[in-house]
Amino acid sequence: MSSETGPHENVSDDKNLPSAQDASGAEPEVHTNPFADPGLAPHDPRIQDIDERAAKRSERTVAMLFTVSMLATLGFIVAYAVIPVDEYVYIFPIGRISAVNFALGMTLGVALFCIGAAAVHWSRTLMSGAEIVQDRYPIGAADEDKAGALAAFGEGVRDSQFGRRKLIRTTMFGALALVPLSGVVLLGSLGPAPGTKLRHTAWARGKRLVNENTHEALRPEDITIGSLSFALPEGLEHDDHSFQKEIAKAALMLVRLEPEDIKDQQELEWSYQGIVAYSKICTHVGCPVSLYEQQTHHVLCPCHQSTFDLADGARVIFGPAGHPLPQLRIGVDDEGYLMALDDFAEPVGPSFWERG
């Protein structure tokens, strides 16, 4: 039904008459207020409310869903019993996946889903579709309850003599404030004081640079222009108890540059025939820097994209790192192997308060 706006008959439309509505009190209002709440609309019967055959169909649907769930659970048990844990199958379009994972997950999923679908279908088609109305009550207490509560509390306070016995009050607060300190003090056992731990690494004068992959000591000729090599300090073995802790600080990367490409004077002095050794641990938050652009001599940290120029003292040229990668001073020993001439001159890795 449509009509132009203007003089119109909508307000007197039958179903909007207050008499046709829920008796929730809109009646006297609607003459003065055209926007009055018409009240809850009467419940439209569903087909299941009218037609018992439709209700039967709904019943069968719900029962069928519960039955499918039972079958799926049986399927789950059979799949668990029958499929070996190491069998893989091709499932289009997913690809090759664990057969038992797929079978268990799907049967479990169907078993659960069908219970849910059955319950929801049951509630939507067969349980009463009419909404009910209930009153709310204020959350806060009535005044007499409040007065009663305050009176009881006041009586309790007076009984305790808390207000009068100032000495008790003060010492009690003192005791309660101090006692948690025991717990705080116990937290001191969580770890050692930092001391100078963050300042030293496993590198020291004379330690050879060992290829991280082949475990063989590196010679200068092993490092070619354009390559990126990773090195460990001699004597640090993967099986060592402290390997993870030491490698977290000592990880080293080596590149060979044309000596004339090195822009930084100290970098040149600390290099050996154009081979420069830098800490691999990013000075931002400690990821291993490992993406190398051989033409630009930039290394990029894959975690947060800090970019360092290895030809210019590992200066930060992009990203969130706050200072250059520390350089390790290297040379060769009597037998021609690359070795460290010292530990790193500054702490490696992320910056910290005492770093200076």
Partner 1 sequence: MSNAADNVRPRASAPRGERIADWADGRLGIYGAAKKNIRKAFPDHWSFLLGEIALYSFIIIILTGVYLTLFFKPSMAEIHYEGSYVPMQGVLMSEAFASTLDISFDVKGGLLVRQIHHWAALIFLVAMFVHMMRVFFTGAFRKPRELNWLFGFLLLVLGMFTGFTGYSLPDDLLSGTGVRFMEGAILAVPVVGTYLAMFLYGGEFPGTEIIPRFFSIHVLLLPGIMLGLVVAHLILVFYHKHTQYPGPGRTNSNVVGFPLMPVYMAKAGGFFFLVFGVIAMISAAVQINPVWVIGPYRPDQVSTNAQPDWYMGFSEGLIRVMPGWEWVIPTGHTINFGVFIPLMIFPLVLAAIAVYPFFENWVTKDQREHHLLDRPRNAPTRTAFGAAWISWYFVMLVGGGNDLWAIFFDLSINAITWFVRIGFFVVPVLVFVVTRRICLGLQRRDRDKVLHGRETGIIKRLPHGEFVEVHEPLSQEQLHLLTQHEQREPAELPPAVDENGVKRKVGPIERLRVRVSRGYFGPHAQIPKPTAKEYQEIMSGHGHH
Q: Which of residues 75-94 bind partner 1 (CB under 8 A)?
A: 80, 85-86, 91, 94
Cα–Cα distance measured from residue 210 to residue 219, given in angstroms and rounded to the nearest whole number: 9
Shorter beta-carbon distance to partner 1: residue 131 or 221: 131
Among 217, 281, 299, 310, binds partner 1 (CB under 8 A): 281
Taking CB under 8 A as the rule, does residue 52 contact partner 1?
Answer: no
- Taking the complex as a whole, how short is the minimal distance between the CB of residue 355 and partner 1, in angstroms? 4
* Residue 322-341 contact track with partner 1, rule CB under 8 A, x = bound: xx------------------
**Is residue 320 a contact partner of residue 287, using CB atoms and an 8 Å limit?**
no
**Is residue 109 a contact partner of residue 117, using CB atoms and an 8 Å limit?**
no
Structure tokens at 102: 């797929």
Q: How many CB atoms lie within 10 A of CB 24?
A: 11
Distances (CA, A) of 134 to 29, 42, 44, 124: 22, 16, 20, 21
CA angle 72, 75, 78 (to 5 degrees): 160
Taking CB under 8 A as the rule, does residue 207 contact partner 1?
Answer: no
- Taking the complex as a whole, how short is the minimal distance between the CB of residue 165 and partner 1, in angstroms? 34
- Taking the complex as a whole, how short is the minimal distance between the CB of residue 332 and partner 1, in angstroms? 24
Structure tokens at 145: 């309850």
Among 190, 221, 260, 295, binds partner 1 (CB under 8 A): 190
Closest listed residue to residue 121, CA positions, set 68, 73, 65, 159 = 65
Among 251, 257, 262, 325, binds partner 1 (CB under 8 A): 251
Among 49, 71, 105, 341, binds partner 1 (CB under 8 A): 105
Cα–Cα distance measured from residue 56 to residue 54, given in angstroms and rounded to the nearest whole number: 5
Cis peptide before 93 (omega within 30 of 0): yes
* Residue 216-235 contact track with partner 1, rule CB under 8 A, x = bound: --------------x-----
CB contact set of 70 (below 8 Å; sequence gap of 6+):
111
Taking CB under 8 A as the rule, does residue 244 contact partner 1?
Answer: yes
Taking CB under 8 A as the rule, does residue 291 contact partner 1?
Answer: yes
Shorter beta-carbon distance to partner 1: residue 62 or 332: 62
- Helix/strand/coil for 65: helix
Side chain identity at 313, as an amino acid letter? G
- Helix/strand/coil for 277: strand
Among 207, 208, 249, 256, binds partner 1 (CB under 8 A): 249
Taking CB under 8 A as the rule, does residue 136 contact partner 1?
Answer: yes
Cα–Cα distance measured from residue 89 to residue 278, given in angstroms and rounded to the nearest whole number: 47
**Both ends of the chain: CA-CA distance in Å?**
81
Taking CB under 8 A as the rule, does residue 285 contact partner 1?
Answer: yes
- Taking the complex as a whole, how short is the minimal distance between the CB of residue 204 and partner 1, in angstroms? 17
Side chain identity at 77, as an amino acid letter? I
Among 316, 331, 341, 342, binds partner 1 (CB under 8 A): 316
- Taking the complex as a whole, how short is the minimal distance between the CB of residue 166 and partner 1, in angstroms? 34
Of the candidate spans 134-142, 163-171, 177-185, 333-341, the one that interacts with partner 1 by CB under 8 A turns out to be 134-142
Cα–Cα distance measured from residue 199 to residue 346, given in angstroms and rounded to the nearest whole number: 7
Q: Which of residues 22-41 bind partner 1 (CB under 8 A)?
A: 22, 24, 32-41
Shorter beta-carbon distance to partner 1: residue 207 or 332: 207
Shorter beta-carbon distance to partner 1: residue 158 or 304: 304
**Is residue 275 a contact partner of residue 254, using CB atoms and an 8 Å limit?**
yes
- Taking the complex as a whole, how short is the minimal distance between the CB of residue 47 and partner 1, in angstroms? 18
Taking CB under 8 A as the rule, does residue 135 contact partner 1?
Answer: yes
Cα–Cα distance measured from residue 278 to residue 345, given in angstroms and rounded to the nearest whole number: 11
Cα–Cα distance measured from residue 336 to residue 339, given in angstroms and rounded to the nearest whole number: 9
- Taking the complex as a whole, how short is the minimal distance between the CB of residue 16 and partner 1, in angstroms? 4
Among 50, 63, 70, 127, binds partner 1 (CB under 8 A): 127
